[in-house]
Amino acid sequence: MISVAQISPQGKGGREGPSRLRYLIARREGNRLEVLTLAARPRSETLPVFTGAGAARDFLRYVGEDWQVRESTTGELVSLLMGCLPHVDRIVLDPVFGVVGGATEPRSTTKVEFVAALMGERLAAPAR
């Protein structure tokens, strides 16, 4: 599970700044942006999100020629998740290509929890 601090670290004065930037892997398809997602289940996808450009470039080496590392602000990331990426239901933070298991297993969370943390909202406790 990803902590709120990992998703949305506080920058100086609480304003969006370099600490709030995230990196995606994307490409242009005509006039539209295509964001790399990973198939999880039928009709379900996972979005890899990177906290640093270097980690995204390391992952990119295994993806393909047309793809590029793309800087994304908090607002753009929320917009993509809520609008253009309806099949994404999980976010994996800083995945390493081909690494699974043990202490190196990727940190992931649901889209709802990720967006809430980006927006600085507290989620209500689940009903029992």
The predicted pLDDT at position 57 comes to 93
The predicted pLDDT at position 15 comes to 45
Tell me which DSSP letter residue 80 carries: I
Report pTM: 0.75
Place of tokens 């590392």: 69
Question: Cβ neighbours of residue 8 under 8 Å, at least 6 residues apart?
Answer: 20, 74, 117, 118, 120
The predicted pLDDT at position 11 comes to 43
Residue 100 CA: distances (Å) to CA of 12, 47, 97:
35, 16, 9
CA angle 92, 98, 100 (to 5 degrees): 65
Q: What's domain 18-119's architecture?
A: 3-Layer(aba) Sandwich (3.40)
How far is 94 from 111, CA to CA, in rounded Å? 15
Ranges of residues in the chain with a pLDDT under 50 are: 1-2, 4, 9-19, 100-102, 128
Q: Provide the residue ranges of all domains of the chain, joining segments of one domain with +.
A: 18-119
The SS3 assignment for 74 reads helix
The predicted pLDDT at position 17 comes to 42
How far is 119 from 108, CA to CA, in rounded Å? 17
The predicted pLDDT at position 53 comes to 94
Burial annotation 87-117 (CB, 10 A radius, 16+ → b, else e)? ebbbbbbbbeeeeeeeeeebebbebebbbbb
